[in-house]
Amino acid sequence: MTISTNIEDGSGTSNKACVSSRGQLITGPIEFSAAFTVTANVVDTAFNFVPPIANKRFVLTDILLYANKAVGAGDATVELYEAAGDTVTTVTRAILTLEMVKQTSRDMTGLNLICSEGFWINIKTDDNTIFATIMGYYVDA
């Protein structure tokens, strides 16, 4: 014998708890992350990770960066950002801006950063070469 039950939030919005297609009660990340990798090897050029999908937002869960031996003595400024197009270098909204020393890595894991709907996620640098991977998944907007 089964009993049908609904779990609703306590704030009066009547939002119900969800169960994934795999039978998981969703209490954390809604999906598994996919990896998107680019090599930023041209100075002041946009490199695209993730395109926008209609009625979706991208949830960024991990950022992995490596500055190779070609990075000069002045370090590399690396910008991960939202933009209006896949080749646009104008930052609509900054996600991450940092300096990277030659032959160093930065790994940021366990993130739960939601990006804006309708924007591309790009990276650019002022010194080459930066190997970059982001991970995440799309959710309904």
User: For residue 94, what is the domain's CATH number?
Assistant: 2.60.120
Q: CA-CA distance, 122 to 81, in Å (whole number)?
A: 5
Inform me whether the pLDDT recorded for 15 exceeds 90.
no
- Structurally, the chain folds into a number of domains equal to 1
* The pLDDT value given to residue 6: 83
pLDDT-derived band at 24, boundaries 50, 70, 90: confident
pLDDT in tens, 80-137: 999 999 999 999 999 999 999 999 999 999 999 999 999 999 999 999 999 999 999 9
pLDDT in tens, 29-58: 788 999 999 999 999 999 999 999 999 999
11 or 95: whose pLDDT is higher?
A: 95
- The verdict on residue 42 lying in a domain is yes
Q: CA-CA distance, 3 to 9, in Å (whole number)?
A: 20
* The pLDDT value given to residue 23: 79
- The verdict on residue 10 lying in a domain is no
- Residue 39's DSSP bridge partners are 131
**Closest by CA position to 89, among listed 54, 42, 52:** 42
- The verdict on residue 103 lying in a domain is yes
* The pLDDT value given to residue 12: 80
Q: Which domain holds residue 46?
A: 34-140
The helix/strand/coil state of 115 is: coil
3-state helix, strand, coil in the chain (%, to 5): 0, 50, 50
The model's pTM is 0.84
pLDDT-derived band at 18, boundaries 50, 70, 90: confident
